[in-house]
Structure 1
Amino acid sequence: MTAGLLAGKVVLVVGGSTGIGADSARLFAAEGASVMVAARSKDTLADLTDELTAVGHVAHTPGDVSVAADVARFVDATLERFGRLDGAFNNAGINQQGRLDEVSEEDFDRVMAINVKGMWLCLREEIRAMRDSGGSIVNTSSVGGFRGNTGLGAYQATKHAVIGLTRTAAHDNGPLGIRVNAIAPGPVETPMLTQWRAADPAAVERRISAVPLRKAGTTTEVAEAAAWLLSDRASQVSGVVLPVDGGYSA
């Protein structure tokens, strides 16, 4: 019987209550990791923890990724519960529809606070915890981080920023034995895609029809890519932005 891909690892999943994050927590636990799940929804987190207890050592902590004290608590809670931090999957993010000249300042600030500031806060605290022991960090960007797209300007700006943070963190922290990579999903069947489909179904179908594999991805397919990057099988991989998009960005 082979060991799981993440056997013996302690992994923090930030933004883990639904969609890609929740299914990643499920997969990481099934692959042998001890998992700390962090997100804003207390009830959803508690339900997920109950579900996963049977297949892995899982704990949860609620909080807002855009609040520095909450992010520090995510990492501190992991260290207190499990004694170390080997990997982190930074998946928290929100969408923001609208042309750049139509997005309100409040909405722009909110998407930046969660998708960019929140990513930086996570990286800062996770690197602090891994400084002496090394580790692996995976950030969620998007194929929107490679290109522009009408009607999603603020969101796509944040995903470009995630790629910049990822590559810089890989350079800064490689000498410490910390690998930092990103995944770039294309269309994925998540609650976020469901919301977008409700607002603009034609746009979603155009996006999916442009995928060479002619289908949206699943959350588990994205989680598999993140798991590999977190694992020792990707031990020489750092600074990479891995498309998980059915060939959309090819």
Structure 2
Amino acid sequence: MPVAVITGGNKGLGLAQSRRFLDAGYKVVVIARSRGEVDRLSGDIRVVEHDLGGSASAEYLDAIHDEEGGLDVLVNNAGVHLKKPIWDVSADELEHVLNINIRAMFLACGRYIALQREAGGAIVNIASMGGIMALPSAAAYVTAKTGVVGLTRSVAVDAAQFGIRCNAVSPGFIDTDMTRAVLAKDPARRERIERRIPTHGFGSPEDVANAIFYLASEQAAYVNGVNLPVDGGYAIGF
């Protein structure tokens, strides 16, 4: 049974990713600080509790690799957002955003390659529209997600010699509980956003999960180093 490791796969977009891999017959190992909503899923899934923001390494992958006999897919999904203009961002806040969004991902990519260099595999990093375009009052987040895009390209080049591909997905406006809660306070903002999206609607968590699964699968065997927007065309919209 193939194995997929998904950071932050216990809730939100990550939960949809876990479900997608389970439906395809994968064993899923979720890396998160808690079980979250994992119990809603059925299939071969377990949670390894780990604080990605506080870790100085990604050696949690070693134990999983030894227990499972390999790691076919790594999805670096865990991330945090910070809605603040740059002049209000403290050094501690910046460190927190960078630690989770890029540092933990950097370390996980490196450790995954070290473990899988004889067997090959696939890495999918979750970037953002913030890695493609500027977002207002989100300088720390945009900085981190732009770094994810650059990291993905570098890993794609360096890891190809080991049969490991690395790609990224950049979700746009996705209809999640958190998004609905935020926009419920300003319905007019949702209408403005939807008018800007060429497809005139928000995406679903399953849209993102399907894109991730494609990039991790053999159907994308010749796809390497791309950043795939899943945003209905928002980033190129009007």
Listed one character per residue, the Cα deviations across residues 60-97 of structure 1 (whole Å, up to 9, x for unaligned) are 10111134467321x12422332110111100000000
**For residues 191 and 122 of structure 1, do their structure 2 counterparts lie closer, same or farther at Cα, with a shift above 3 Å needed?**
farther
Name the residue aligned to 2:216: 230
Deviation at 1:191, TM superposition (A): 4.6
Matched residue count: 236
* Aligned counterpart in structure 2 of residue 166 of structure 1, from 135, 148, 152: 152
Matches within 5 A, 1:234-245: 234-245=220-231
Deviation at 1:207, TM superposition (A): 2.9
Whether the aligned pair in 1 keeps the contact of 2:57 and 2:107 (CA below 8 Å) is no
Q: Does 1:221 align with 2:214?
A: no
Q: Does 1:107 align with 2:93?
A: yes
Name the residue aligned to 1:60: 47
Listed one character per residue, the Cα deviations across residues 95-152 of structure 1 (whole Å, up to 9, x for unaligned) are 0001111222221111111101111121122112211111000000011111112211
Name the residue aligned to 1:154: 140
2: CA distance, partners of 1:191 / 1:238? 32
Q: Does 1:21 align with 2:14?
A: yes
Q: Does 1:40 align with 2:33?
A: yes
Whether the aligned pair in 1 keeps the contact of 2:102 and 2:144 (CA below 8 Å) is yes
Question: Residue 86 of structure 2 aligns to a residue in which SS?
Answer: coil
Name the residue aligned to 1:82: 68
Sequence identity (%): 37
2: CA distance, partners of 1:78 / 1:199? 42
Whether the aligned pair in 1 keeps the contact of 2:131 and 2:146 (CA below 8 Å) is yes
TM, length-normalised to structure 1? 0.87
**For residues 111 and 235 of structure 1, do their structure 2 counterparts lie closer, same or farther at Cα, with a shift above 3 Å needed?**
same
Which blocks of at least 5 consecutive residues in structure 2 are unaligned? none
1: CA distance, partners of 2:143 / 2:180? 21
Question: Residue 175 of structure 1 aligns to a residue in which SS?
Answer: helix
Whether the aligned pair in 2 keeps the contact of 1:63 and 1:70 (CA below 8 Å) is no
TM, length-normalised to structure 2? 0.92
Q: Which amino acid aligns with 1:15?
A: G
Whether the aligned pair in 2 keeps the contact of 1:143 and 1:186 (CA below 8 Å) is yes
2: CA distance, partners of 1:90 / 1:245? 19
Which blocks of at least 5 consecutive residues in structure 1 are unaligned? 1-7
- RMSD of aligned alpha carbons: 1.9
2: CA distance, partners of 1:170 / 1:219? 25
